Amino acid sequence: MAAGYVYHPIYLEHDTGQHVEVAARLEAIISRLEKSGLESKLTLIEPRPATVDEIALVHQRQYIKEIEEKAASGGGWLDSDTVMSADSYQAALYAAGGVIRAVEAVMGGEVSSAFALVRPPGHHATSGQAMGFCLFNNIAIAARYALEKYSLERILIIDFDVHHGNGTQEAFYDNPRVMYISTHQYPFYPGTGDINETGTGAAQGTTINIPLPAGCGDGEYLAVFEQVIVPAARRFKPQFILVSTGYDGHWADPLAMMQVSVSGFARMVGIIKGLADELCGGRLALTLEGGYHLEALAASVKATFDVLLGNATDDPLGAPPRRFEPPNINSLVAEVKQIHKLG
């Protein structure tokens, strides 16, 4: 059961200064993989920079030029949340290209699954705007690349970052070949992802938003996976599954108010891997989005790789303290199932 990972030191050159989305995130992950001995069991997939034409599958060419010119001038703030440095444009090209390489490695049979450990992250970036720490929408670019390169008819994107992937939703809102499913804390940044945002035209129903209240933990997330994501995926019958893998729903994360544990993330990834095995010959690629508590992030990524390799998982941080009483989401799940006719 070969699993691969994408990584390159260029990702550390995206210098964000005193910011939560920092190079230390990847350094913590790589350190944990090395110290655990897991890195030696994984296949390293060398990334390449995405071409401008590949970036333009999702982004306006004028916007791409603006990001390049901003880097050439030394970088700076793009909005109140998103900053870049002189090397950020190159890092962003390699981030998008890294997820493309993950797709290529899986489709080419180099590995059965792949996890792109890249930064800057991507799922908030819209066609013409950087936001939410994101410059280019890595997963959307990779999905469009896969549709064109491999003539795929159906790709499923699952996004369990704690923030809604507004940029990814925008990219495929009218495209019936891509189903986008998001679990996210709501109402929360970026303010999108309402339950009634379901796609348009021929793509009506291929966007599924599960806007969760604060305080949700393993039980609530797993209920959503089992009652909504699994039946929706089985009905859609994807030929490839892509995952925006954000760990900022962990109970220790400083940017959100969820109560997911490392074990909970492992079980979610296990469900997704099971769907890939069942529906599309195991073809699965993940990309890193959020997660800002370094220990929780590193432990969750290691657990994800353990699931991909078929290993037992461990949870060094354990169960959450009782910060919140878990909400009752039964009515929310029932409403999502009714809107999308999931039985």
Percent residues over pLDDT 70 in the chain: 100
pLDDT number for residue 305: 98
For the chain, the domain total comes to 1
Per the CB < 8 A criterion, the answer to whether 184 and 208 are in contact is no
Average pLDDT, the chain: 97
Q: What is the pLDDT of residues 311-322, one digit of tens each?
A: 999 999 999 997
Q: Which of 8, 123, 124, 184 is catalytic?
A: 124
pLDDT digits (tens, 9 = 90+) for 287-306: 999 999 999 999 999 999 99
Give the end-to-end CA distance of the chain in Å, rounded to a whole number: 34
**Residue 305's domain is classified under what CATH number?**
3.40.800.20
Contact 202, 181 (CB under 8 A): no
Structural domain boundaries, residue 291 = 3-339
CA 318, 259, 196, 160 torsion-angle sign: negative
- CB-count burial class (<10 Å; 0-12, 13-18, 19+) for 177: middle
pLDDT value at position 343?
81
Predicted local distance difference test score (pLDDT) of residue 107: 98
Whether 164 is catalytic is: no
pTM of the model: 0.98
State the residue for tokens 């970052």: 161
- The predicted pLDDT at position 322 comes to 79
* Amino acid symbol at 125: A
Q: Mean pLDDT of successive 10-residue segments in the chain (343 residues)?
A: 94 97 98 98 98 98 98 97 98 98 98 98 98 98 98 98 98 98 96 98 98 97 98 98 98 96 98 98 98 98 98 97 89 98 92
Predicted confidence at residue 1, as pLDDT, reads 66
Please, which residues have CB within 8 angstroms of residue 139's CB and are 6 or more apart in sequence? 99, 122, 123, 157, 159, 165, 168, 242, 244, 287
